[in-house]
Structures are given as structure tokens and as C-alpha cells.
Amino acid sequence: MSICSDAVSYAKKIGIDECESVFCSKRILTIRITDSEIAEIKENFDQKIGIRLVHKKRISSLQSTILEPTKIIDDALKSSKNLTQRDFWKSLPFDAKTHNVEKTNDSSLWNLDSSMAADIAQEMINSSSHQKITRISGSLNVVCEDYEIANTSQLQKHEKATYISGMINADSDIGSTPVSGIGQTNSRMLADFDAECVGSEAAEMCVNSLNPQSCESERTTVVFEPMAVGELLYFVFGPNFFLKTYSETRSCFSEKIGTRIAVNEFNLFDNPHAPNGLGSKAFDDEGVPTITTPFIQDGIFNQTYSDSYNAFKEGVLSSGNACRPGSPLGRSTEPIPIVTPHNMTIGAGNTNRDNLITDTKRGILVSRLWYTYPVNPIKGDFSCTARSGIWIIENGEIKKPARSVRIIHNLPVLLQNISAIADNLRTVLPWAAMPVTAPTIRCDGISINPI
């Protein structure tokens, strides 16, 4: 029997109503790049168990690196006595058939050693080297994990997974003001990871941002590249479609299911079955089968996402969005899951990125964003800053780099003023966030202010 099965068996033996046991064995290989060279190579092996108990409608939990399920369960049960009863709770998930997701586990990454990983990191550094770049920093993370979940509803699931993510920041002090560029590539399969692209993308963004010119305060057209869209998706878009936020009328789209909230061409959905998707998985972190969930379909607000706990509160079914995110990638054994999309995705448009820019008479091109956050979530107001990787567009041509600008706008207004969506879908990993997939999009009437 597995450690999860042992935990569940013991919980049944001592008469606990429900028990969920989560175990994860993880190998993490991290290479840190500073001052244009490899500064650290670190390899960690981690094993943890997480327990969630539901007894007399009271939910308690405990996580430990000490793999003694009987002691963990006894401790968690003791702590439950003073907890509030959750009368809406129904049951932990039952076992159900799951979708087969392709390209999520790669033996080449399991066999990758630190020396081979260092070669990949060095290729990232080499491809970002340029005479106008002052320094290079970044990281390479490789994660291989073995995840198991079991509960007293006879659910037992197991999944092995691999992840590789590389990021380079290229900085330059040459020119009128310091500028930077970023390159990022993420994959579940080693063969699909392009180390050279990570560095060359960072170098190109940095060098092409040298000697930027000031923009005027105005309302203008903004073309957001995929990394910039990714920041907006996770920190501004996503929370509005969480069932809890929606039902508590804290979403700017509360009470608007079934109504038009975006242009006809706009589609937003969770796609946990995308082959090689960084967040793709057959079942969520409660064991519920994952499904493709359309949040916005042809401009119409379609549905929300949830886990079991929040679904029970509202009398609906879970959408399979319970997550126990691990660091830097993959899953963890956090006993109480959070709720988030696995692969939030904007549907591809029908024009390519270059034609989208050619058709833009005047505006700015934004490659990345910082400090993206809702200012007034209920109304949909948000703020973000573009500090580098910004260019001025005139008559369909990228003319010159621009200085930092602050963008203050409103999500419902933005969705109604999307004038073009490109077909260049790309998976990006915003800082401290779940992966998202987005194309280049063009939005009109956005306020920008120079910093």
C-alpha cells in the first residue's frame, strides 16, 4: 500500500468521517544566473504529505515532511475540536474517469543531471550576450514530480509530471537611461525547450529599447505582446471569474452571466488538456477530472470556476479547479487547495502579429508589464507599469523606443475595445503566478501617462 492509502485506512479505522491524503515526491534542479555567469547550481529532493480531515462537518488539515500519517492524522483531528462546522459541506470527490493529456511527462527531464542543465543555462547566457548589454541574470528550473492523492470516497489517483522553465533578464546602462529585456520559455518536454530563444529574445528587447523617448499623456491604442497580456490575465482578468468572487458580488462581472462583456471575437477559457501545457493535468489537486471551462465565449460571459468547497457553498458542482501549486513549478501537498485556472487561455485570432502592427495607425507596443494589480476590483479598474520593451507605432511601423509609462484603465471597457487579436499563442509564466496562454492583442482608447 502507498502512504496515501495507509493514511486513509488509518482515518477509517479510528472513525473519521472523511480523510484526504496527498503525497508528492519532487526533484528540483535550479540554476541561478547573476553577473552574466552561472552563480549557483542547486538540486533538491523533497517529499511531503498533506492531510485534510472532515469530521462532524469540521475541516482540519496538516502538512509534514515527516512521513508518519498516523501521527499527522491524530494531530489534525485534535485541532478540529475548536473549528466551525461547515454545514454546506457534502463530500470529498469520488473517483471518476479522467482525460488523457499528452506531453506532460518526459523521461529526458527525469534523466537530466546538473551538468546537462548547466549546459542549457550556459546556452541561454551565450545567446543573450551583446556588446551593448551590461549584465545578464536569470534562472533555469527543472522539476520532476510524482504526485498521489487518495481519500475515503475510494478516490486514488497518481500522476508523474515534468517541467522546465528558463528566464533571462538582460540589462544595459549604455545610452540615455538604463533599459532591460526579458526572455522566457517554458515546456513540459526537453525537446520543446528552446534555450537559445530565451537569451536572444531578452537581448533583442533590451538593445531595441536603448535611448527611449518620452510619450505624451493621452488616450491611445496599445498593442500588448503575450507576456504583457499574461500579467493582465492572471492579476486582473482571472479573479473576476472565480465563483466565490462572483457570488459575493466582488467581481466586476457579477450578475452578468449570459450577457455580452467583450467583443464578439474574444474567447477566454481554461484549457487543462493542452499538450505540453505548463499547467495541464488530467485531474485537479482534489482528484476531480479537469475540463475545458469557457469563461467568455464569443464575447458572452459563460461561467465561473471553483473547487469543491466553494461549489458546495453555492449548491453547484466543482469545475475541477482546486490547485496546490508548488514552487517553482508543479504541485505541492498544501492540505487546503487554492482555486485558480490551470491554463487560462485567450483564443487565437485570425491575423498574424506583424499584420496587426501594420494595421495600427498610431499607438504604442508593450512587451511586458510590472506592478499589475486591481485598483477597484468591483468596478474593474486596474493599474500597471510598462518600464522597458515599449515602442512607439506610427503609420503601421515600429518607429522608436519609448520611456516608462503608467497605464490606468478599466477591464470591462478594455474588453469592449479590443480591435484585433493575433494568432501567435504563447504560454507565459507571470511572476509568482500560474501559467497563462495568450496572443498579441490590440486595445483602443487606453490612458497612458509618462513616469
Neighbours of 2 (CB within 10 A): 13
Q: Smallest Cα–Cα separation from 308: which of 76, 153, 82?
A: 153
Looking at residue 21, its pLDDT comes to 97
Note the maximum CA span of the chain: 74
How far out from the chain centre does Cα 419 lie? Answer: 25
Cβ-contact 330, 161 below 8 angstroms: yes
Cβ-contact 155, 95 below 8 angstroms: yes
Q: What is the 3-state secondary structure (H, E, C) of 50-95?
A: EEEEEECCEEEEEEECCCCHHHHHHHHHHHHHHCCCCCCCCCCCCC
Q: Smallest Cα–Cα separation from 409: which of 374, 379, 447?
A: 447
Looking at residue 1, its pLDDT comes to 61
Instruction: List the end-to-end C-alpha distance of the chain, in Å, as a whole number.
Output: 61
Report the chain's C-alpha Rg in angstroms.
23
Residues in the chain: 451
Global confidence as pTM: 0.95
Looking at residue 143, its pLDDT comes to 98
Looking at residue 81, its pLDDT comes to 85
Per-residue pLDDT of the chain (451 residues; tens, 9 = 90+): 699 999 999 999 999 999 999 999 999 999 999 999 999 999 999 999 999 999 999 999 999 999 999 999 999 999 888 899 999 999 999 999 999 999 999 999 999 999 999 999 999 999 999 999 999 999 999 999 999 999 999 999 999 999 999 999 999 999 899 999 999 999 999 999 999 999 999 999 999 999 999 998 999 999 999 999 999 999 999 999 999 999 999 999 999 999 999 999 999 999 999 999 999 999 999 999 999 999 999 999 999 999 999 999 999 999 999 999 999 999 999 999 999 999 999 999 999 999 999 999 999 999 999 999 999 999 999 999 998 899 999 999 999 999 999 999 999 999 999 999 999 999 999 987 899 999 999 999 999 999 9
CA distance 244 to 174: 49
The HSE-up count of residue 85 (CA atoms within 13 Å, CB side) is: 4
Give the type of residue at 207. Answer: V
Give 173's contacts (C-beta < 8 A, 6+ positions apart): 134
Q: What is the 3-state secondary structure (H, E, C) of the chain?
A: CCHHHHHHHHHHHCCCCEEEEEEEEEEEEEEEEECCEEEEEEEEEEEEEEEEEEECCEEEEEEECCCCHHHHHHHHHHHHHHCCCCCCCCCCCCCCCCCCCCCCCCHHHHCCCHHHHHHHHHHHHHHHCCCCCCEEEEEEEEEEEEEEEEECCCCEEEEEEEEEEEEEEEEECCCCCCEEEEEEEEECCHHHCCHHHHHHHHHHHHHCCCCCECCCCEEEEEEECHHHHHHHHHHHHHHHHEHHHHHCCCCCCCCCCCCECCCCCCCEEECCCCCCCCCCCCECCCCCECCCEEEEECCEECCCECCHHHHHHHCCCCCCCEECECCCCCECCCCCCEECCCCEEECCCCECHHHHHHCCCEEEEECCCEEEEEEECCCCEEEEEECCCEEEEECCEEEEEECCEEEEEEHHHHHHCEEEEECCCEEECCCCCCCEEECCEEEEEEEEEEC
Locate the domains of the chain by residue range.
3-207, 218-450
CA distance 342 to 323: 8
Looking at residue 79, its pLDDT comes to 86
Q: Which CATH architecture has domain 3-207?
A: 2-Layer Sandwich (3.30)
**What CA–CA distances, in Å, run from 32 to 57, 70, 318, 334?**
46, 39, 39, 26
CA distance 233 to 239: 9
CA distance 141 to 197: 16
| Structure-block grid coordinates of residue 394 | 506610427
